[in-house]
Structure 1
């Protein structure tokens, strides 16, 4: 189970989860993509019907099994969307999560899945009850960053999250930092990447996801980039990241 997290918004985390899910399916691994973000946007990348309001938050409040809210994407992965809630119901759901930090771990453990399924959990930015739920459920954490100064200064926050929720657990498999939307033509991006390599060492994934406008075009078509443009630079980069994660999991 892989939690994909970030301390700040706008880093392309949800798009990355959708594309990683596709890359893992292409590598013949069953995938469950879980959206733990109230924006409920992951489904739109994977062609879930727009008017479907179901999801894990809806089922959680109604005390129904999460498996009942699963959607089979035409791209081949199972998707568990967040669902559509009123503001009052969202706050009620978050209060329930705050009182039961292991709710997601228990619920996902009860979802029937094929052997060797990899579960990817998308989360909202920053610290929240959702972050706590995802990191307490995860075997592996992927911390997504942009190659900018603002992301660099958030490392301390992410390390505190890992120390609180992940590292005390003997079964936790490790945390890895991933740089997204790397533009090597910009000196600042190169400088920040070098600083991250010095600061994080082997915790920084060797594969970076390079900036590629094709990703936004694919997103507009509700398609993973490897389906929209298989030869795109970002499609290759996401595939490399998927291969690296599979090797770590193995």
Structure 2
């Protein structure tokens, strides 16, 4: 989701930096970085190097700050101080916002980070928070649990920042259609009107270390992400006018 949305924004001439905060370090696979690449902002921190030197630009013009590959002992140390690392990263990347051009920064994060009190300030500094859901039983159950038990959902909703994106929608299946209807009814205006469909082109593009826009520009998924990019521009523009 993050990689393809970033690339779709680049296609409409937005300056985009995608930042991977997840230790799985998978975002890099969409931007042309091979499996053996260990470079990343977290990796640089443990080597005593400037984190920003881990930045990378894909052949298609999207900028990426990968997480990096950590050794087991480094991962333990990172997990122990994860809160401070992420808070510092947010503050430092915020300073990258250039005064002479519009800069989009997409943070790829784990769901648990939204519930962390120590990241409340970082989340509050963001213009929007998108939670990706799949129209199926498992995703719906997790979503219901999160909405009912975590205050972050209510706080972000009141701030007007929280939106949900339906991903991997399969309209040809009855289950897919049923859960899509449920999501529309229960999330109402919080559900982004652009739906991303299930598409084999997405899996093929990852296997080729690129985004779906580059690998299969005529695919349904590529069209969905382009529509999503336009919606994001409109959504954020309207919020800035309200402010």
TM-score band by shorter chain is 0.7 to 0.9
Contact 1:147–1:193 (CA<8 Å) still a contact in 2? yes
Structure-1-length-normalised TM-score: 0.82
Report the alpha carbon displacement of residue 157 of structure 1 after superposing the two structures with TM. 4.2
Question: Match of 1:28, SS?
Answer: coil
Corresponding position of 1:9 = none
Q: Gaps (5+ residues) in structure 1?
A: 1-15
Corresponding position of 2:155 = 167
Contact 2:54–2:66 (CA<8 Å) still a contact in 1? yes
Contact 2:133–2:143 (CA<8 Å) still a contact in 1? no
Select which of 180, 195, 198 maps to 1:193: 180
Report the alpha carbon displacement of residue 207 of structure 1 after superposing the two structures with TM. 0.8
1:21 aligns with 2:21: no
Corresponding position of 1:118 = 104
Report the alpha carbon displacement of residue 238 of structure 1 after superposing the two structures with TM. 0.8
1:180 aligns with 2:182: no
Report the alpha carbon displacement of residue 86 of structure 1 after superposing the two structures with TM. 0.9
Distance 1:129 1:98 in 2: 12
What is the correspondence of 1:3-152 to structure 2 with a 5 Å cutoff?
Answer: 16-62=1-47, 64-99=49-84, 102-111=87-96, 115-124=101-110, 126-128=111-113, 133=119, 135=123, 138-152=126-140
Contact 2:4–2:225 (CA<8 Å) still a contact in 1? yes
Question: Greater relative contact order (Cα 8 A, min sep 6): structure 1 or 2?
Answer: 1
Structure-2-length-normalised TM-score: 0.85
Quickly say closer, same or farther: Cα 1:101–1:80, change in 2 above 3 A: closer
Corresponding position of 1:7 = none
Distance 2:54 2:109 in 1: 18
Quickly say closer, same or farther: Cα 1:249–1:191, change in 2 above 3 A: same
Contact 1:104–1:137 (CA<8 Å) still a contact in 2? no
Contact 1:225–1:235 (CA<8 Å) still a contact in 2? yes
Quickly say closer, same or farther: Cα 1:101–1:72, change in 2 above 3 A: closer
Distance 1:149 1:226 in 2: 29
Distance 2:38 2:112 in 1: 25
Question: Match of 2:168, SS?
Answer: strand
Report the alpha carbon displacement of residue 61 of structure 1 after superposing the two structures with TM. 3.5
Q: How many pairs are equivalent?
A: 233
